[in-house]
């Protein structure tokens, strides 16, 4: 099964073009399942059937894993078995008809417009790192791109004059996302007075670089946004995805149509985008309850 796992990951990378983070998640989930099977002396695909899958999911439950985590593991296992059926290793997929555990849909946390303004006002624009941080936060809120897409941006992907960026999302799918005048202004300032101080010309293609002149990482951005959230005294738990959620919610609250938001976010399925409509309805109800005299 370990050999088949390597072939499966290769298939996902080469034929389906999945992102490195997605490949890592598949490998991690399936390595846990394969180790479980090995401990049960089930080393070959034809040995590890429906009972093995159910036992593994039950073990995850006993270990306190959430329904969402268990469902993700089952999805990885399903994909793995389907691959082996297509490759002729197995005649039947043992994961067929297994139901994923149901979990309550958690609405993403978003910032208010006031909190966004407070957060974006924290970087000090008088120093190169501050100019970079200000440009990153403004761009993230202006476009709603994923953090992985943000740090993957190259200089050639940013068209400042026409106000758009070209990014590559999940499955290496390319999309064009517009950005507003405010973000454009701070990107120009970063290029003129910030990036040029952090990296020598021609040494790096990355748009956003660290103090050593190399491409900024997702982990590096995580530390940056956490630092500014503490400075702004924002109590809402902030993750690198928070500005993406806030971008989508604020657009819908101000009249944007769902299809346009879906395209800007790079969601393959509109049902993924619809979670933000639930969120806007929830926020409207909270406003109503606070404001109407007979609420």
How many CB atoms neighbour CB 277 within 10 A?
Answer: 14
241: annotated active-site residue:
yes
Decide if 278 is catalytic.
Answer: no
Closest CA to 264 of 191, 165, 185, 195: 165
- Catalytic (active site) residue 188: no
**Which residue in 44, 58, 50 sits closest to 97, CA to CA?**
50
Known catalytic residue: 33? no
Active-site pick, 132, 134, 215, 244: 244
Q: Which of 11, 218, 267, 283 is catalytic?
A: 267
Tally of residues, the chain: 295
Q: Catalytic pick from 40, 78, 170, 218?
A: 170
* Cβ atoms 48, 42 nearer than 8 A: yes
Let me know if 170 is a catalytic residue: yes
- Annotated active-site residue in 33, 56, 81, 276: 276
Query: Using alpha carbons only, what angle is made at residue 103 by residues 98 and 107, rounded to the nearest 5 degrees?
Result: 140
81 near 9, Cβ under 8 Å?
no
Task: Give the contacts of 22 (CB within 8 A, at least 6 positions apart).
Answer: 12, 170
Q: What is the DSSP annotation of 154-198?
A: BGGGEETTTTEEEEE-GGG-EEEEE--HHHHHHHHHIIIIIIHHH
Instruction: Give the C-alpha separation, 40 to 21, whole Å.
Output: 29
Q: Among residues 161, 111, 176, 107, which one has the least CA distance to residue 141?
A: 111
Per annotation, catalytic residue among 72, 193, 241, 283: 241
Among residues 73, 132, 134, 146, which one is catalytic? 146
Q: Which residues are catalytic?
A: 146, 170, 241, 244, 267, 276
């Amino acid at each position: 099964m370990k050999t088949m796992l390597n072939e499966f990951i290769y298939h996902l990378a080469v034929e389906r073009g999945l992102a490195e983070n997605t490949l890592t998640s598949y490998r991690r989930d399936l390595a846990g399942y394969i180790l479980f099977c090995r401990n049960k002396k089930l080393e070959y695909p034809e040995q590890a059937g429906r009972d093995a899958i159910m036992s593994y999911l039950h073990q995850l439950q006993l270990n306190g894993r959430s329904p969402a985590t268990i469902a993700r593991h089952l999805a990885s296992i399903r994909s793995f078995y389907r691959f082996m059926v297509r490759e002729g290793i197995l005649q039947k997929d043992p994961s067929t008809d297994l139901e994923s555990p149901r979990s309550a849909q958690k609405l993403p946390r978003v910032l208010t417009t006031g909190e966004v303004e407070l957060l974006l006002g924290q970087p000090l624009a008088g120093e190169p790192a501050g100019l970079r941080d200000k440009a990153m936060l403004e761009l993230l809120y202006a476009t709603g791109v994923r953090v992985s897409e943000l740090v993957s941006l190259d200089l050639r992907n940013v068209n400042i004059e026409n106000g758009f960026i070209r990014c590559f999302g999940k499955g290496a799918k390319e999309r064009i996302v517009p950005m507003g005048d405010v973000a454009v202004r701070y990107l120009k300032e970063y290029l003129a007075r910030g990036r040029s101080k952090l990296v020598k010309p021609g040494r790096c293609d990355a748009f956003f670089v660290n103090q050593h002149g190399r491409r900024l990482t997702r982990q590096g951005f995580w530390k940056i946004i956490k630092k500014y959230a503490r400075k702004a005294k924002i109590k809402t738990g902030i993750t690198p995805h928070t500005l993406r959620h806030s971008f989508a919610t604020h657009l819908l609250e101000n009249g944007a149509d769902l299809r346009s938001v879906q395209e800007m976010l790079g969601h393959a399925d509109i049902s993924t985008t619809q979670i933000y409509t639930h969120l806007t309805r929830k926020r409207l109800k909270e406003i109503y309850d606070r404001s109407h005299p007979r609420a």
